[in-house]
Amino acid sequence: MDILIAGVGGQGTILVSKILAGAALLAGGRVRTGETIGMSQRGGCVVSHVRTGPVSSPYIPPGGADLLLALELCEGARHLPRLKTGGAAVVSTARLEPVTAALGQEAYEEKAMRAYIAARPRARFIPAGETARALGSEKAANIVLLGAAFAWGLLTMDEESLLASLAQNTPPAFAALNRAAWRAGAEAARNAADDREVTG
C-alpha cells in the first residue's frame, strides 16, 4: 500500500510518516519511507511517502498512491494527481496561504480546490486544524487526521500498532494531547458516517 502525506513545512508530515512506518513494522510488515528534508521545511511544500509491501524504492510514482493524507487544502489539491484512480484521500480543510497569495501574485481559490478534490469519489474533508486547536494545539492536527483516516478504515495497520507507534515517536509530555487528538479525529470520522464532509 502506498500512502502519500502532503503538507506545508512545519505541519508535521514526517511525524505522520514515522508513525505509519513504525506501525507497519510492529504489525510485522515491510515498509519504506521517503521524506522531504531541507529548505522546503521553511514553509514550502513537503511530502512524505510511506510504502508497505515488496517494494525496493522509497518514492511513490505519480498516479500510484492508494491513499493521500493532506494536512492543508491547497496541498491536497496539488498532490491529488498522485492518487490512483479509485484512491482515497483525507484532506484537512486548514488553509495556509502562501505569501505570494497575500501579495496578490497568485489566487488561493478555496472553492476550486475543494471542488477539484471532491470530484474524487473517495475523498473526504476534515477540519483537522480547528479540531486540534480546540484540544489546545494546532500542531496536533496531523494526529487528528491520522485518527480520522483510521476510523474511516483507510489504514491497513491495526489500532494497537498505530497507537504504540504514536507513543514511540512522540515525546511523553505530549502523550495525552496526542491520544486526545487521535480520539477526536476518529470520533469526527465516525460521526460523519457516510457524509463526505466533517463539519467543524
Partner 1 sequence: MTLQNISFMEKPSKQILLGNEAIALGAIAAGARLVAGYPGTPSTEVLQTVAARNTDGAIHVEWSTNEKAALEVAAGAAWSGARAMAVMKQVGLNVAADPLMSLVYLGVRGGLVIVVADDPGPISSQTEQDTRFFAAFANAPALDPSCPEEAYAMALQAFDLSERYGLPVILRPTTKVCHASAAVDLSAERRPFAPGRFERSARWVIFPPLSYRRHGEIKAQQAQIGEEFSVSEFNRLEGDGPLGIAAGGVTYAILRDALMARSGAADWPAALAASALSVLKVGAVFPPPKALYRRFLSRARRVLVLEELAPVIEEQLLALKGAENLTAVVAGKLSGFVAPNGELLLEQVARYAETFLSPPPVTAAATAPEPPVAVTAPEPEPAPVWPRRSPVLCAGCPHRASFYAVKKATRGQRAVFCGDIGCYTLGNAAPLDMTDTCLCMGAGLTVAQGVKTADPQALVFAFIGDGTFFASGMTGLLNAAHNRADINIMILDNSTTAMTGHQSHPGLGRTVMGEETVKIDAAAVARALGAGFVERADPFDLPAAMDAARRAASHPGLSVVIFTAPCSGLFRPTQLCRAEKCSGCMLCVREIGCPALRIAAGVVEVNAALCHGCGLCARVCPSGRLRLEARA
DSSP string, 129-146: HHHHHHHT-GGGHHHHHH
Q: Does 122 bind partner 1 (CB under 8 A)?
A: no
Distance, first Cα to last Cα, the chain: 30
State which of residues 68, 91, 96, 162 lies at the interface with partner 1 (CB under 8 A): 96
Min separation Cβ 195 and partner 1, Å: 25
**Alpha-carbon span 75 to 93, nearest angstrom:** 10
State which of residues 4, 16, 18, 114 lies at the interface with partner 1 (CB under 8 A): 18
128-135 and 141-151 helices, crossing angle to 10°: 120
The piece of 20-28, 120-128, 156-164, 190-198 that touches partner 1 (CB under 8 A) is 20-28
Which residue from 9, 19, 1 is spatially nearest to 185, judged by alpha carbons?
19
Residues 30-69 that bind partner 1 (CB under 8 A): 30-45, 54-64
Residues within the interface to partner 1 (CB under 8 A): 8-10, 17-18, 21-22, 25, 28-45, 54-64, 74-75, 77-78, 80-81, 96-103, 105-108, 112-113, 116, 129, 133, 138-139
